[in-house]
Amino acid sequence: MRTIPILFLFFFYFTDVVNAQWQLRKQEFNHDGALALQGYDPVAYFTQGKAVKGSSAYSCNVDGLIYHCSSEQNKQLLLKNPAQYEPQYGGWCAYAMGNTGEKVEINPETFKILNGKLYLFYNAYFNNTLNDWNKNEQALNKQADLNWKKYFNN
């Protein structure tokens, strides 16, 4: 009869771990309230090769963050494998994460797919950081990976 109390303890422990993970994502990832990617469809970057605004009709919750997809098919792809489609560095500017380790806003229409991963960049006021990233991509990518672990190490 000890099985039932152990299952309850496991359930509560697991629930606490999931809640802590959700809270950390909401704290460290780039979002407006809970909406990630300013409403852009994370799957479309890969399937259509461009930034596509999603719709609340195809919204889904991925570990505490809300994504808007542009179709039911994209929503199902995202839910099936979120790690494949979510942007690197919590959706912050990849160049800034690699250059200074700072979380800097992005323009969701300025992006790059590299080794099957989505990278987003700041692009405003005549400053497109994708251009700077491309000049030293390998070193910036390596440093950004290290810097992001200071915020979120999963």
- Is residue 130's pLDDT more than 50? yes
Residues in the chain: 154
Task: Give the mean model confidence (pLDDT) for residues 19-35.
Answer: 80
What pLDDT is recorded for position 7? 42
What pLDDT is recorded for position 27? 84
- pTM of this prediction? 0.85
Q: In this predicted structure, which of 9-18, 34-43, 52-61, 126-135 has the lowest mean pLDDT?
A: 9-18
- Is residue 99's pLDDT more than 80? yes
Q: What is the pLDDT of residues 9-25, one digit of tens each?
A: 344 333 444 456 657 77
Task: Give the mean model confidence (pLDDT) for residues 105-119.
Answer: 98
Candidates 128, 88, 126, 121; CA nearest to 107 is: 121
Q: What is the pLDDT of residues 50-93, one digit of tens each?
A: 999 999 999 999 999 999 999 999 999 999 999 999 999 999 99
Q: At 115, which amino acid appears?
A: N
Question: What is the Cα–Cα distance from 84 to 121, expressed in whole angstroms?
Answer: 18
The set of residues, in sequence order, having a beta carbon less than 8 Å from that of 111 and lying 6+ positions away, is 45, 51, 87, 118, 119, 120, 121, 130
**Can you tell me which residue has the tokens 């399937």?**
47
Q: What's the mean pLDDT when you consider all of the chain?
A: 89
Task: Give the mean model confidence (pLDDT) for residues 98-121.
Answer: 98
Task: Give the mean model confidence (pLDDT) for residues 84-103.
Answer: 98
